[in-house]
Structure 1
Amino acid sequence: MLFPSNIIEQIVSCAHWADRLVRADLIEGVVVSENDYTSNFTGALRREINARAIPGLTAKIQVLNPSAERELGVDACVILQNDRKFKAGIFEAKWPRLSTHVNTWDSKQKSSGESHFYSQMQRQHIQRHYAAIWEMFYCEYPFGSQPSFMPNEGSACVWHDDAYSFSSSRPSNDDPWNDDELKALLESHSLSIAEVIEAICTCTQGKLIPKGRYEKAFGDMGAPHSALIINYSPDSQ
């Protein structure tokens, strides 16, 4: 495991509450876009961790690659590390707006003619041997009133491999994803952000990399622009 079990429990709890708090803001209309939610989520997770004042456990936002462009097909990066090793997690965020819109969360790319979501997953797929990758679907329904395939308290997450496998079974990846396909994906593969973070920390997802240059986690694509760095160093207590 990347951390002791009691530290993992705290980080997982922080992830749960960060997602729930930002969903509350989305419900209230304070958060207004996918990028807004993602930024608020990583910020809330950072504050949740630091506010608990757990000895040796810290979180910060750090610029990794100032010149990076959006080539990875993801919206955010979370790096979890101890004194010797680290893991990188990356995710693409989608806000389907299922309460007010129909089949509008994906689109056809003008350059390639294929689904934009599929194009993003293709770029993610290159990183699957190094990073833990998931897709994260935000939910604006009031708590308890969301569709049965969405979680009660936060966002719906799907491991990249499951989404990519589902995509390979679609009739055509030129066609944008529709709401029924999203429903089918989430009904069979949905999990919470708490479960995602726990899997990374317990080493069932992602690759352990010796602590050092974060670029090692992203192969030839290079590191993303910035990341939330969650660090546990017991010797610093």
Structure 2
Amino acid sequence: MLFPHQITSQVVDCAEWADRLIRSELIAGIIANENDYTSNFVGALRREINSRNVPDLHAMSFVLKAGAERRVGSDAAIILANTREFKICLFEAKWPRLSTHVNSWDSVQQSSNQSHFHDQLIRQSRVAGTFAIWEMFYTEHPFNSNVAQFPHFGSACVWHSDAYKASHARKNIQLPWTDAELKQLLQNHRIAVGNVMQEVCECRSGKPYPGNDFIRPFIDYGVPEEALLIQYDGPLPGQP
């Protein structure tokens, strides 16, 4: 357990509310694009955690070197830390715009001549053994719209391992992903961001790094330019 149960519950709840809040702004037309949603989601998660004033739990955002997203294939990093160790989470954001567009969220990447999403998954796989990685699909559909592939209130998340397997099982990785393929992926493997946070905090995903040198694991791989640190400085399970 990375955190005590009550701290994990707070982090899970904060993530779900942050995602719900920014989806409401996407529905209202306030959010411009994937990067805007991601930045606002990370900021909302930070504010949710800090505004609850939970003893020993706090969050802060910091900017890392620009351009590294191309190397690691993800949009943002969330670092979960206690006084002894930490875990690194990465996620790649996609806004498929299913209500207004058709097969528009993926493309052929010129440098690799294959699906851009597939290429991102390959780059993510280099750190999949140690980082907790998921794909996060945003939707502009109204709340409770009963779109089968998406939750009623937030985004649809898929663990990297499930997306990676599905991408390699496609008949032609040179072709972009279609909306139908995305819907099938979400139907089979969709989870909520709160479930993601819970699995990481309860040590069912990602490997812990000792200490508090949060940048060291990124040295060989690059890192998204925006990261959120969620730090718990209180007693841990098993400690007096």
Q: TM-score, normalised by structure 2?
A: 0.94
In structure 2, how many angstroms separate the alpha carbons of the residues matched to 1:193 and 1:34?
16
Q: Deviations over 1:106-146 (max 9, x none)?
A: 00012221000001111000011110000000010000114
* Structure 2 residues without counterparts, runs of 5 or longer: 236-240
- SS of residue matched to 1:16: helix
Report whether the alignment pairs 1:182 with 2:182. Answer: yes
In structure 1, how many angstroms separate the alpha carbons of the residues matched to 2:137 and 2:66?
27
| Aligned residue identity for 2:226 | S
Larger mean CA deviation between 168-177 and 65-74 belongs to 65-74
Q: Deviations over 1:15-58 (max 9, x none)?
A: 00000000000000001100000000000000000000001000
Q: Deviations over 1:80-110 (max 9, x none)?
A: 0000100000000000000000000000012
In structure 2, how many angstroms separate the alpha carbons of the residues matched to 1:40 and 1:208?
27
Alignment of 1:1-237 (within 5 A): 1-65=1-65, 68=68, 70-218=70-218, 220-234=220-234
* Structure 1 residues without counterparts, runs of 5 or longer: none
- SS of residue matched to 2:188: helix
Percent of aligned pairs with the same residue? Answer: 53
In structure 2, how many angstroms separate the alpha carbons of the residues matched to 1:140 and 1:162?
24
CA RMSD of aligned residues (A): 1.4
Q: Is the 8 A contact 1:217 1:223 kept in 2?
A: no
- The CA deviation at 1:220 is 1.9
The 3 A distance-change label for structure 1 pair 46 and 121 is same
In structure 2, how many angstroms separate the alpha carbons of the residues matched to 1:116 and 1:139?
20
- The CA deviation at 1:219 is 6.1
In structure 2, how many angstroms separate the alpha carbons of the residues matched to 1:175 and 1:8?
40
Q: Is the 8 A contact 1:127 1:219 kept in 2?
A: no
Q: Deviations over 1:138-178 (max 9, x none)?
A: 01000011411111110000000000001111001100000
Q: Is the 8 A contact 2:89 2:132 kept in 1?
A: yes
- The CA deviation at 1:71 is 1.2
Q: TM-score, normalised by structure 1?
A: 0.95
| Aligned residue identity for 1:51 | S
Give the length in aligned residue pairs: 235
- The CA deviation at 1:66 is 6.0
The 3 A distance-change label for structure 1 pair 191 and 67 is closer
In structure 1, how many angstroms separate the alpha carbons of the residues matched to 2:188 and 2:206?
21
- The CA deviation at 1:214 is 2.2
| Aligned residue identity for 1:70 | R
Q: Is the 8 A contact 1:131 1:218 kept in 2?
A: no
Q: Deviations over 1:175-234 (max 9, x none)?
A: 000000001000000000000000000000000110232244346213443310000001
Q: Is the 8 A contact 1:131 1:217 kept in 2?
A: no
